[in-house]
A and B are shown apart, each in its own frame.
Chain A
Amino acid sequence: MPQTATTDNADMTNSRQRNSWRELSFVWPLSKWLWSFALTLFGLALVTFAMTRLSPIDPALQLVGDHASQSTYEQARLELGLDQPLPVQFFRYVETALSGNFGQSISTGQPVAKDIARTFPATIELATAAIILGAGVGLALGITAAMRQGTWVDGFARFVSLFGYSVPIFWLGLLMLLLFYARLHWAPGPGRADVVFQYTVKSVTGFALVDTWISGKAGAFRDALAHLALPAIVLAFHALAAISRLTRAAILTELGQEYVTTARAKGASLRRIVFVHILPNVSGTLLTVIALSYASLLEGAVLTETVFAWPGIGRYLTTAMFAGDMPAILGATLVVGASFVLLNALTDLGVARLESGRKR
């Protein structure tokens, strides 16, 4: 970095001045971020809308069925606004989506929004459990591999990481069910809860662990936890791979930095260097990868939920796909897509704030 020829004192006063501007200086980036976020959501809506209009499936036909009369069909077209010019259709589409109305599901007959509200919490619960597992094990593995670079631990960590990147999640889920449920009887079967508890626990938040905890029924809580375990482990695998690999790389890069040499020159142990000196410097990177992994877990849940019959939005989506239930497909895609975009955007924001806080 270039050295300025100012005297030492002047430099300190400059940084004090800059600190007082800092309060105002995040308003502008915040509005930039909002604009970026809104634009991305707009793009998402545009893409999904384009897909529906380009699709070979005729929404009006789907609504009224093959045997309806011509006039009923025409009526349906009018009702759905299919006679309007495309930009108008898009506008209505965005309008209704923003108001939370995603239409009626063709298979369940319920409003799609209601279906989503029912199923989304289950996915969030699963993804959250998976990220806690994935991040916990991933960080530990990455740190250990970096500290013991070149040993068998490092090789093992690299292998696990490669494996996690390469394994098809749905297949892993199936095999885990085979092994831990069918053969070893360690884990309960597919689904979120035993039939016994399914109707005896009131659904308050939609999160099984929370609801069963509130209900006070220890058996129900343990059951919910047991059902959560296997799918969470499976889902965590890919996140684990990314997190452990990045952690290892980040720490190894930092180990080559000069401030580490300084710390070593003071007599600091490797452990102290990694945990006290390096981790604060890589925390931004690590949090970013964890947050981004969380977002991708929402995607991965689609396959995992199908295998474990987990009643989340992923399974709702796949069921809708099989049935050709367009409103449901769209609604679920938009909701999960928007969450994904939101998570990514929040991560960008968080990283920017973290970095600006460290600089002068």
Chain B
Amino acid sequence: MTEPLLSVEDLSIAFPSEAGPVRVVDGISFSVGREVVALVGESGSGKSMTGRAIMGLLPRRAEVRAKRLAFDGHELTTLAPSSWNRLRGSGLGLILQDPKYSLNPAHKVGRQVEEALLLHTKLSAAERRERALDMLDKVGLPDPQRVYTSYPAALSGGMGQRVMIAAMLINRPKLLIADEPTSALDRGLQDQILTLLRSLTEELGMGLLLISHDLQQVSRYADRVMVMRHGKIEEQMASADLANARSDYTRALWAARPSAATYGTRLPVYGGEA
């Protein structure tokens, strides 16, 4: 594996509260290269926060500290707001969970897909349009022309998420963070979207950080898996090695996956604290 795109060393995120600062992420370290890495955890494990921190999209009151948070040669902890705006949409991309909310209902789809090009390149309107249509086709939409001129309200969930992917990948980012990209979709669509993400990642030679709560699902698409719990990384390993996980927690998560074999039996429950 070549030099990692993203290097995270000892990242901590805390929020001030009446009872003192609450640590949602507690000293985690990992790296992401040109590969698909899954970040898996329950709600409250801190996985989404990690993703936002890498994008610089945490609320102002969040306290982010890290020994090192480097992306593509930039040290993110000391980045100025204007530099962030240059980096986001060109080097970094983010896909959110539900396109019903993450797309702007007042703008046409085409405009939203092109936006990253408008902000970061000097392409003409015609060129942007061409690239947008090309991208819409690439993400598997059957009628790019019509989708281009529609409003998001006319799209189904699956179509909307494809549009999101198109919008975020159109400017060829080096690293894409997908925050629960399929949680709002039907089961069948989930696999389609994940397959799409995987193939595009490979095609564009970028890195993908896949954040999810579904260990079984993402392990099929990821090269490596990181399990997060209570703000810490329990363990990380190649997804092929999941069955031999060392941590009790990971083993429990892995063992609890429903399948034809476990049908009709009681799934094991992790007996730890919440």
Touch between chains A and B, by CB atoms below 8 Å: yes
- In the complex, A261→B59 CA distance in Å? 11
Complex interface: chain B residues within 8 A of A4 (CB): 156
- Chain B interface bracket (under 10, 10 to 19, 20 to 34, 35 or more): 35 or more
| Complex Cα–Cα for A233 and B55 (A) | 46
Please measure, in the bound complex, the distance between the C-alpha atom of A20 and the C-alpha atom of B184, giving whole angstroms: 30
Contact A259 B103 (CB under 8 A): yes
Contacts of A3 in B (CB 8 A): 156-157, 184-186
Given A3-B157, A8-B142, A262-B164: A268 in contact with B106 (beta carbons within 8 A): no
Of residues 1 through 49 on chain A, the ones whose CB sits less than 8 Å from some CB of chain B are 1, 3-6, 8-9, 11-12, 15
The answer to whether B94 touches A265 (Cβ under 8 A) is: yes
Interface residue total, chain A, C-beta cutoff 8 A: 29
Per the bound structure, the CA–CA distance linking A266 and B56 in Å amounts to 12
| B55, A259: Cβ atoms closer than 8 Å | no
Q: With A3-B186, A264-B88, A266-B88 as given contacts, are A259 and B105 in contact (CB-CB < 8 Å)? A: yes
Residues of A within 8 A of B119 (CB): 266-268, 272
Contact A265 B88 (CB under 8 A): yes
Residue of B nearest to A266 (CB): B89
- A8 pairs with B85, CB closer than 8 A: no
Q: Which residues of B contact A259 (CB under 8 A)?
A: 101-105
With contacts A3-B157, A3-B186, A358-B151 taken as known, whether A263 is within 8 angstroms of B104 at the C-beta atoms is yes
In whole angstroms, how far apart are the Cα atoms of A257 and B86 in the complex?
22
In this complex, what residue of B is CB-closest to A281? B106
Complex contacts, A266 vs chain B, CB 8 Å: 88-89, 115-116, 119, 167-168
Alpha-carbon gap, A277 to B101, bound state (A): 13
B201-240: which residues lie under 8 A (CB-CB) from chain A?
Answer: none
A70 interface residue per 8 A CB criterion: no
Residue among A5, A265, A277, A358 having the largest count of chain B Cβ atoms under 10 Å: A265
Residues of A within 8 A of B85 (CB): 267-269
Q: What are the residues of chain B within 8 A of A12 when measuring CB–CB?
A: 143, 146, 150, 154
Contact B90 A267 (CB under 8 A): yes
Question: Are A359 and B157 within 8 A (Cβ)?
Answer: no
**Of B89, B98, B101, B103, the contact of A265 (CB 8 Å cutoff):** B89
A6 to B186, CA, bound (A): 10
- Any chain B CB within 8 A of the CB of A66? no
Contact at B104–A267, with CB atoms within 8 Å?
no
How many Å from the CB of B2 to the closest CB on chain A? 25
- Residue A360 CB within 8 A of the other chain: yes
Q: Are B100 and A358 in contact (CB under 8 A)?
A: no
B255 at the interface (CB under 8 A from A): no
Q: Roughly how many angstroms separate A223 CA and B90 CA in the complex, as a whole number? A: 57
Tell me, yes or no, whether B57 is within 8 Å of chain A by CB.
yes
- Chain B residues whose C-beta falls within 8 Å of the C-beta of A8 in the assembled complex: 141-142, 156, 158-159
A79 within 8 A of partner (CB): no
Residues of A within 8 A of B101 (CB): 257-259
B120 close to chain A: CB less than 8 A: yes
A258 to B9, CA, bound (A): 28
What residues of chain A lie closer than 8 Å to B105, measured between beta carbons? 259, 281, 358
The reply to whether the CB of A280 lies closer than 8 angstroms to some CB of chain B is: yes
B87 close to chain A: CB less than 8 A: yes
Give the chain A neighbours of B159 by CB distance below 8 A: 8, 11
Within 8 A of A (CB), among B50-96: 55, 57, 84-90, 92-94, 96
- A22 CB to closest chain B CB, in angstroms? 13
Report the bound CA distance from A100 to B198 in whole Å: 74
Q: Give the complex CA separation of A5 and B185 in angstroms.
A: 10
Chain A residue numbers with a CB within 8 Å of B116 are 266-267
Find out whether the CB atom of B104 lies under 8 angstroms from the CB atom of A261: no
Q: Note all chain A residues with C-beta closer than 8 A to B157.
A: 3
A353 CB, min distance to chain B CBs, angstroms:
15
* CB-CB nearest in chain B for A280: B106
CB nearest to A7 among chain B residues? B156
Q: A3-B184, A8-B158, A265-B57 are in contact. Are A277 and B104 (CB under 8 A)?
A: yes
Distance A8 CA – B155 CA, assembled complex (angstroms) = 8
Q: Which 3 A-B pairs have the closest CB atoms?
A: A267-B89, A266-B89, A280-B106
11 contacts between A and B (CB under 8 A): A1-B100, A15-B154, A261-B94, A261-B96, A262-B96, A265-B92, A266-B89, A267-B116, A280-B106, A360-B153, A360-B154
